[in-house]
Amino acid sequence: MLLVREGNKAASQDDQARNRLKHIAIIMDGNGRWAKSRRLPKFAGHKKGADAVRAIVEKCADLDVDFLTLYAFSSENWNRPVEEVNDLMGLLKIYLTKEIEELHKQNIRINFIGSRERLSKNIIALIDEAEDRTRDNTKLRLTLALNYGGQEEIVNAARNIAKKVKDGNLAVEEINGKIFSENLYTNDMPEPDLIIRTSGEKRLSNFMLWQAAYAEFVFQDVLWPDFTKESLCNAIDEYYRRDRRYGARP
């Protein structure tokens, strides 16, 4: 079971069992500002951010977190300068080429959520290969939200449900929250317990809008390339200090 850092007062065993941290989602923000503050090209920030990803994935696996979802590239990020987008896609190719075998050795499963439209054929092939290679791994499920937008995800779910109704496979009266969740990209994952955003910004930026209904939020001023295992533990400590009521009263 995932516990708070050694040295901190832990919650009761019953509370920890009820509020066990199964799914962490992170909005990785601040790569560009990290590079700018050091008078480096933005690519240097993104590359340093990839190193942070490696450390956080390793730490989550050590802590027995079941699910880790990282906001890697939003559907709005296409509006960035072409050179920066190309750098990000190039970095993704490197990651998928070099890191997958190591993830597989660590029994980590990787999958992707988001639209695959606008992604190049070679990136899609690498994504398919990574998912197939690690499909049966059970230690940690690492999900990269790539070309992802929460509003688009909700619209797609509504469209899928409407088609099922039109085809006679679903009655309007049967539509509920469970049905809707089953038509999201995350249909086989639990909703996030904890959402972390770095860089000091305090917004979701179109990330997991449906799934975040009862997530706990932790905002940290640290830029993503400087986000460490210690930063993660601080966020986890904060999570275990919260009283999750889900709208009810004790």
Decide if 29 is catalytic: yes
The torsion region of residue 196 among left (phi > 0), alpha (psi -120 to 50) and beta comes to beta
Decide if 86 is catalytic: no
Say which of 29, 66, 87, 193 is annotated catalytic: 29
Say which of 77, 137, 156, 206 is annotated catalytic: 77
Structural contact between residues 2 and 27, judged by C-beta atoms closer than 8 angstroms: no
List the structure tokens of 108: 């980590």
Is 41 exposed, middle or buried, given 0-12, 13-18 or 19+ CB atoms closer than 10 A? middle
**Of the candidates 194, 205, 190, 193, the residue with the CA atom closest to the CA atom of residue 231:** 194
Give me the amino acid identity at 70.
L
Instruction: Give buried/exposed letters for 218-228 (b at 16+ CB in 10 A, else e).
Output: bbbebbbbbbe
Residues with catalytic function: 29, 77
